[in-house]
Each structure stands twice: as structure tokens, then as C-alpha cells.
Structure 1
Amino acid sequence: MTDDTRSFNASDRPEFLPAEGPHPGWGSPSGGPSPQYRQQGPDFVQSPDFIQSQHPTDPFGDQYGQPPGPPPPVNAYGMGPAWAPPPGAPPARPDERKGPRSGLMVLLAVIIALLAGGAGAYGTYLLTGSSSGLDPNYAIPTTPAGSTARPPESVAGVASRVLPSVVSLEVRGGSESGTGSGFLIKGGYIVTNNHVVAVASAGGEIRIKFSNRRSTTARIVGRDPNSDIAVVKPEETFGSPEVALGNSDSMVVGDPVIAIGSPLGLTGTVTTGIVSSLNRPVEAGGESGRDSALINAIQTDAAINPGNSGGPLVNAAGEVIGVNSAIATLNGGSPLGQQTGSIGLGFAIPVNQVRRIAEELITTGSARTSRIGISIDQQYQGQGVRIAAQAERGIEPVTPDGPADKAGLRPGDVILEVDGQPVSDSRELIVTIRSKAPGDKVVFKYQRAGSERTATVTIGAAPAPSAQPS
């Protein structure tokens, strides 16, 4: 026996020992003390003196009353059919017939299914296909048509409201011709750019095409090269609605805008973008280089191309906030110096200026150009814009009794701001003044002899040219 042998306690194996007192078939034949059990490792074995004293009818003998054989070796796994397996040993299992594992059976089933499917498909192809690859029964399922209704505040909703008021113009005059865009306003008039209709000013022809594909001729009511605005009157409007005019002073950088027109003759084209900048001095239009229209433009990244000129730039409410007039282009990459398309730099005349010019053109046939009566020193390179110091070609630097003279401006003064907006060059000053209406009061901040001063100037106007309707 080893050192870990300990006396067996009845509570350790209750199924083998009686709870108390003698029991038939247990103990010695003479009624003496019961045999001793000892624990050997994980198993229990009988002591030798117990085995020798067994009665022939002892239930641990075989069926012939013979005592059982010697006990199995200590620590062996399994103690015969009458003994439980030792703790921690794998449970005894009856002999099983070995065969393929279940995972292998599943894999074989999948392979067989794939082979069967491929064979079936190939058989179907042989029965129904043709060597040309044509299938007379082939058809692509159709998708049911959805609703075309869109929210009124969406781009599609705004476009559907404004498009009926937008027209395209085909203009001919002498050997020149061109196309442009315009929009219908109150009274059946159409607003467009001066440079769109200028070629027809000397007896040419203008044809207006509406969104309903009906067309008619039109005549020029009035045009203003200085603002690049013109108004024409079509013979018929075919019931087309007038567009709503907004307020361009309420626009801020980042506002969404929509440009509508006929770029390259493609009528009813809609593009979207944002207001990229405000008060951008831009030179637009011009008649064969003779006229220079400086505008205080709204800059946008909405795609504007040749043919968009004169079309509306509208806000998210569908109101016109500008007239598309100019684009910046890159000439280096095109042959023969031809202009390229939109590069995301488009410019529109603010509608507040357009409204005033259109009213004057319709009422008088001409428009006044805002002035303050000064000559600018083009050689000055410092901050702001300097009034010329002396007369040039008989023209005084400050027109006597003109708006600037009445406000106290003098030759050599340097204008720094107009209504709080800094001016850095003569172009900025000119477009700022032209964007104002005659009679408007503006505050000038200027510098004289090293000190800054302010003056309130009432905007005047240059003498209006004679009316030139056609």
C-alpha cells in the first residue's frame, strides 16, 4: 500500500455499505467484524483478509460459489464490469462501427449537389440555347413608374415653376447671329443681356422660343450697354407666366442658387450651385469691343456656358436674384484661342440693379448711369482709390457742382470705403457707384493729408442718351 491509503468511510460510498448493523451477505461468516475497505488512489479495492474469508455463497463470487479472482492491478483504468470507471477517466462506450465523419459526409453532399446543378444547367443550355448566344425568350423585367411629384422647395420643384417663364432667343443681324436666354416679367416684357440682342439693333431679327415650344418674333424696347441689360417685347406670350423677382441685397455667400437658360442652344437647361461671392467687379458684354459694361456681380459656381447669357439666376424660393451675364474661361487649352466651357466661375447682374434699369428702359427707352463726378488717378498704387490731382484733357478732377464736389471731396483725396465696403481699385469703385440708383445717399470714407474723414454723397447720373427702340 502507498502512503495515501486511508480507511474507507461508509459515507464515501453509500451504495456499497449498509447504513448501520449487519446485513445479509455482508461481513464475515462467523458474524465477526466486517471486512476492511481501503482507498488506493482514485479506486477502492478489497483487503486480502476479506477475500480469503468470503463465504461460498458470497454475492461477490461467481454463480458457482467460487471466490472471485485476484483484484486488478492498483491504479489500472477500469475494475471490471461491476466497477465504475475511475474519476476523470473517459466513459466506457460500447464498440462502435467506425465510418466517415459527419463533416466529410456534408462536404460530399455539397459537392454532389453542385455537380448535379451544373450538369442540369448545362443540359438546359443544350436543350434551349443556340450557338449564336440568342435567347428568344429573354426579357428584362420592367420597373413600375413612380410619382413625378416633387416638394416645391426642392430643385426640381423650383425648376418646374420657373421654367415656363424662361425663353431662348435667336438673334440675327447682317452677317452675325447668336443665341441667348431671357425671362418674362410683368406686362409681357422679356429681360435679357444687351450683348445678346445688340447685333439686331440695326434692323436685325429676334425670335423668341417659349418653353411650350411655340415661338414668335420680338422687337427691342431699350438696351443699356453700361449695365449690359436689354428689354424686348415679343408679339405673343402664349399664356406663359411671368417670373417672380427677388431682392439681391438679401443674398449671402453660400446661399443655394439655380441657373436656367439655353447654353449652346440647349433650351430649358437647369444647373445648380451656390453664391460664391458678392460685389465682384466684372467686365461683361460690349459691342464689338466698343462698350465696356462693368457690373457689381454675384459670383456663382452654377454651370453657366455661352447661351446662358440673359437667363435668370434664382434662389431657393424660385425668385430671380440675378441675370447671368459672364463667365471666366481658360483659353490656354483650346485651339485657336477659342473659349472653353464653364469652369465654375459665373457672374450675374444683381436683380435690384436690373429692376431699376428695366423700368427706365420700358418707361423712357434708355437708362441712366450713376455718377459722382470725379476723375480717377490710374497711376496711383497705394491703398484705396485716389482722385486725380489735376485736370486732364480739359476735364476737372472733381466736376464743379457735381455730387462729389457738393459732398466736399477734393482733388488728391483717397477714397477708402463706400458704405463700409472697402475699395481697392478703380474698377471696384466704378461698379459700386453703378450699382446704386441716382438719388441714393452713400457714405464715403476718405483720407486727406494723412487724416481720415467721412462724407455723405448723393448719387447723380450722367446725361441719358436718346431713346433707341427698334
Structure 2
Amino acid sequence: MSDNPFASPNADASRPQGGAGVSSDDTEVIPTQGGSPAPTPAAQQAAPATSPAAPAAPAQPAPAQPVPPVDETAPYTPPLTPASDGTMSTAQPPYDGTGYGAPAPVAPPKEKKGRVGAGAVAGIAAGALLLGLGGGVAGAWAFDEFGSPSASLAMTTGQSVDRPEGSVAAVAAAVMPSVVSIESTMQGGAATGSGFVIQDDGYILTNNHVVDGAQDITVVFSDGSEHSAELIGATADYDLAVIKVDITGLTPLTFADSDEVVVGDATIAVGSPLGLEGTVTTGIVSSMHRPVTAGDTQSQAYIDALQTDAAINPGNSGGPLLNANGEVIGVNSAIATLSGASSETGSIGLGFAIPSNQAQRTAEQLIENGVATYPVIGVQLDGRYTGEGVQVVDSDAGVVADGPADQAGIEPGDVITAIDGRPITQSDELIVAIRAKDAGDEVVLTVQDGDSERDVTVTLGSSNEVTYEETP
């Protein structure tokens, strides 16, 4: 079974579709335009259309149906008439510097396109992908053709691994017992993803979109053993979920400090792409702080992502991205594909992972409470603004009364140009930078008001403590 847009040859790609750029896998797919930035899609509500069960014999996937580009990440825009190019500027939901408010009902598109970048620090948009039958068929094809890849691993054959400490082979041998394949069964199909042990008493971390809507979850370890798992908690805001198997004595992976990661550091990705369990790929950290947005307006994730050229394919979602010491620096979650590429394409060397610091904080919240919150500053941004930085809506609703920004002295109409010294050129850059923090953390915002500029220190609030007004 497989959960990636790169379905194996002759695999049936039919499965429930859910949102922009929907492919037959669980990996977030980010279309690009021939190496140049593609237009950002507008916030639209995506209603999944359930596909019929795929036949046992592999079949060629149906081609994706193109739709006009829409703007998925555009912030608040006042009511206007929809444009002829398909972008929707009417009833765009207002959102704070860290997330959307309640979305206005709009017609759900069959597919939404994303964009990579606006310059060097561009935002990346992707549709939330629901797992379905096509991925399961693709994974089954892989097993029929090649057998279980884990059968050739040292830990399943008893073969000794004698390699220098710190080598990729040594790291792979050490971490493999802690990395799992996840088989999710839901209405209309099944698919696989990846995950890894975070506590010795059975807690496993993965992506939310790997288990979202699953009726049954099965975890497969590197020795081939299978165990039922229960969902402990999940958050679409960070695209993370924690599941648990009834086993003790497991070996959890160690989280590294992702704030210490630098461009050029070695990376090792481990997971089950296309259902091929125990797959190891290598690369480097290609970039830091890539703003990645994934999902529809109902469940939009904002990720201050690590970018890597280690091959990440459908089915790698939820698996660990490791450093050369075998420590977790990220959770593999999204990939970019060339514009117009079919759902059968694979890695083009643009993979994105949720940083380990964010993943660890969120996992702890999910284990403790079953839900996770995210930090906010308590402002709403104006999507009509086209100047430097991003502008707070110039009305009373632009700044939440007595919220973090209000207490710090930010006013409606102010323009935010940087956070902690990092320039801000678009709204999703500000959002992901804030969500990479924790409630209670302090951030320094560079704010312009006319010709004057000032630095404002804001103590971040929690999403469950701030209520936003409707903007006229």
C-alpha cells in the first residue's frame, strides 16, 4: 500500500479526493511552475469526493482534472466579485497573524494548485490530501512485485552491521527498529504512511493526514510484526498526530534541537515510500524557514519547514528526518512537484519537514490533552495591501482588544516588516514564524507607521484564549 502522488506503474490512483493538488497519496504535493513560482491558490473549502473501490489488478491512474488557479493563502479581503481567472476574493475569511477565522462557504474545487516561493523565502501552498484506496493498491503492487523490502534489512535477517559509527549504514541499523509503517483503513480505501517511536510505552508520532479519518490503524515494525493502534490526538494546524500501540520496552528516537540545524547539514530520511518499508535516503538541509501551508480553509497547516534534497516520496509522510547522529531534526510532511506533473511523479529534490522542536512540543500536548493549541499575536491582516511587509487591517477588528498585540502597542493599520530581525514579505511568512514558537514566548516585531519605524516586543498568546471579530 502507498500514500504518495507517485503511484507505481500500473497502480490504480483512484481514491477519495480532498482538496488542492489532491493526489493518491498521503504526502502533501506542492506543484511548481517550471522552476518559477506558481500562483498561490485562494482559500477554498474542499469537499472530498469518494472514489469507488479499486480493482485488485493494477490499472492506469486517471489524469488529474486541471482547474483555474485560486489563492489559498490570501488573507482577509473585503467582499468583491469573483475574478474571471478563478481567483476568489469574495468573503475571504479574516485571519490573525497566525491563522484563519471561520471560512465563508464557497464552491469546492476538484483540485487546487499551489505555489513555490516568491523569491528566496517564498511561501509554499499545498492541499490537504486524504488517504484512499489508490495508495493501498500501489503499495500492494510494490509488495507483489518486490516482496517486503524490510526482509533484506539487517535487523530482520539477523545479519550483523559492521560499519563506522556515524556512517549512514550505522545510523540506519540503529534507528530502523524505531521507525514504523502505518496502514490506515478508512471509508472507501486504505493507504500507508510512516511514523516513529517517541516513548518506550508505545507512543508513535506521524502526520495528521496519514491517519485523518482512519477507522482502523495498524502499525508494522521493521521485524514484520503488526499491532493495532489507537489515535491519541491530532492537530490539522501542525499536521501532526500521535498514535499508540499496546507495547512497552520500545526504543524511542531522540529529538535534536532544530534551532541548531544549519544549511548544509547532512540529512537521512527513513520511511515507507509507496509502501516500501525501511527505505533510507540521504541528502542535506537545503534551506531553512520555508513557509509551507497545506490543507483547505477548514484545516490549514502552517509549517516553518526545513527543506531537504533527500528523496521524500508518498508514504514517507510522518517518518523522521535525521541528522548524521541519528537524531530527529524533522518530520517529513510535504514535497514539491513540477507544475502539470501527474500524481505518479516522485521526488524532485524538494522535500519539507516539520522542525523537531515544533513536533516535540506538539506531541507532548497531544499526549497530555489529546489536542494542541498554537501561538497567536491577535491581529488580522489585510490582503489588499501590496507594499513592504504585511499590514494589520485598518479597523477596530484588526487588533483583538486586550490581546497580545494590543497589549504590546500594535495598532490597526500598522505594517509589520520583520519578526526577530527576519524580513517579512508575505502573510504566511509571519504566520509560520509565529507558529514555530510557543505560547508565552516573546517575539520582536518591526513595525512601521507612516514614516516611523519601531520594534515591538510581543508575548505570544494561545489560540484558545483569543477570539477574533468579524471584519466588515
TM bracket (short chain): 0.5 to 0.7
Determine if contact 2:376/2:460 at 8 Å carries over to the other structure: yes
**Corresponding position of 1:356:** 361
Could you tell me which amino acid in structure 2 is paired with residue 401 of structure 1?
Answer: D
**Aligned AA (2:193):** G
In 1, distance between residues paired with 2:271 and 2:422?
32
1:254 aligned residue: 264
Contact 2:161-2:173 within 8 A present in 1 as well: no
Question: Partner residue of 2:210?
Answer: 196
Give me the whole-angstrom Cα distance separating, in 2, the residues matched to 1:261 and 1:218: 18
Aligned runs of 1:272-421 on 2, under 5 Å? 272-284=282-294, 286=295, 290-334=298-342, 338-391=343-396, 396-421=397-422
The corresponding residue for 2:89 is none
Distance 1:453 1:156 in 2: 51
1:55-80 Cα deviation digits (max 9, x unpaired): xxxxxxxxxxxxxxxxxxxxxxxxxx
> Which position in structure 2 is the counterpart of 1:130?
none
Equivalent residues of 1:168, 1:181 under 8 A apart:
yes
Distance in 2, Cα, partners of 1:147 & 1:365:
40
Contact 1:331 1:340 in 2 (8 A): no
Distance 1:331 1:397 in 2: 36
User: Matched residue of 1:409: which SS?
Assistant: coil
- Residue identity over aligned pairs, in percent, reads 55
Structure 2 contact 161–170 (Cα < 8 Å) conserved: no
TM-score, length-normalised on structure 2? 0.63
- Which amino acid is 2:234 matched to? R
Question: C-alpha offsets along residues 16-40 of structure 1, whole Å, 9 cap, x if unaligned?
Answer: xxxxxxxxxxxxxxxxxxxxxxxxx
Aligned residue runs from structure 1 range 50-199, under 5 A: 148-186=161-199, 187-199=201-213
CA contact (8 A) 1:209 1:216 kept: yes
- Per-residue CA deviation, residues 290-326 of structure 1 (Å, 9 max, x unaligned), is 3111110000000000000000000011100100000
Structure 2 residue 285 is matched with structure 1 residue 271 = no
Which of residues 237, 244, 266 is equivalent to 1:233?
244
Structure of greater Rg: 1
The equivalent of 1:105 in structure 2 is none
Q: Deviation of residue 270 (structure 1)?
A: 0.2
Question: How many Å apart are 1:184 and its aligned residue?
Answer: 0.2
- SS where residue 352 of structure 1 aligns? helix
Cα displacement (A) at 1:178: 1.6
Query: Does the 8 Å contact 1:303/1:343 carry over to 2?
Result: yes
Give the TM-score normalised by the residue count of structure 1. 0.63
Distance in 1 (CA, whole Å) between partners of 2:321 and 2:378 is 33
CA distance, structure 2, for counterparts of residue 270 and residue 408 of structure 1: 50
Cα drift, residue 463 of structure 1: 1.2
Question: For 2:357 and 2:245, how far apart are their aligned partners in 1?
Answer: 23
Q: CA contact under 8 A between 1:177 and 1:199: conserved in structure 2?
A: no
Give the 3 Å change call, closer, same or farther, for CA 148–371 of structure 1 in structure 2.
Answer: closer
How many residues are treated as equivalent by the alignment?
A: 307
- Greater RCO (CA < 8 Å, at least 6 residues apart): 2
Residue of structure 1 in register with 2:18 after alignment? none
Code of the aligned partner of 1:322: G
The aligned runs of 1:36-55 (5 Å cut-off) are none
Are the counterparts in 1 of residues 375 and 463 from structure 2 also a CA contact under 8 Å? Answer: yes
Report if aligned partners of 2:220, 2:226 keep a CA contact under 8 Å in 1. Answer: yes
Superposition deviation, residue 434 in structure 1:
0.7
For residue 332 of structure 1, what is the amino acid of its counterpart?
Answer: G
Q: CA separation in 2, counterparts of 1:291 and 1:321?
A: 25
User: After the TM superposition, which residues 442-453 of structure 1 pair with which residues of structure 2 at under 5 Å, given as runs?
Assistant: 442-453=443-454
Structure 1 residue ranges, 4+ long, deviating more than 6 angstroms after superposition: none
Tell me the distance in 2 between the aligned counterparts of 1:209 and 1:418. 42
Unaligned runs of 5+ in 2: 1-158, 467-472
Is residue 2:227 matched to residue 1:216?
yes
User: Aligned-pair RMSD on alpha carbons?
Assistant: 1.7
Checking the alignment, whether the CA contact within 8 Å between 2:271 and 2:277 is kept in structure 1 is: yes
**Distance (Å, rounded) in 2 between the aligned partners of 1:333 and 1:247:** 35
Secondary structure of the 2:338 match is: coil
How far did 1:199 drift? 1.9
Residue ranges of structure 1 left out of the alignment (5+ in a row): 1-145, 466-470
Say if 1:177 and 1:458 are closer, same or farther in 2 by CA, change over 3 A.
same
Contact 1:303 1:344 in 2 (8 A): yes
Question: Contact 2:177/2:221 (CA < 8 Å) preserved in 1?
Answer: yes
SS in 2 for 1:199: coil
Is the contact made by 2:202 and 2:246 (CA closer than 8 Å) also made in structure 1? Answer: no
C-alpha displacement at 1:445, in angstroms? 0.8
SS in 1 for 2:213: helix
Task: Give the Å deviation of 1:416.
Answer: 1.0
* 1:185-226 C-alpha deviation (Å, 9 max, x unpaired): 1232000000000021xxx00000001110110000000000
Distance (Å, rounded) in 1 between the aligned partners of 2:160 and 2:331: 33
Q: Is the 8 A contact 1:150 1:156 kept in 2?
A: yes
Please give the secondary structure, in 2, of the residue aligned with 1:328.
strand
CA shift in 2, pair 1:444/1:167, >3 Å: same
1:459 aligns with 2:470: no
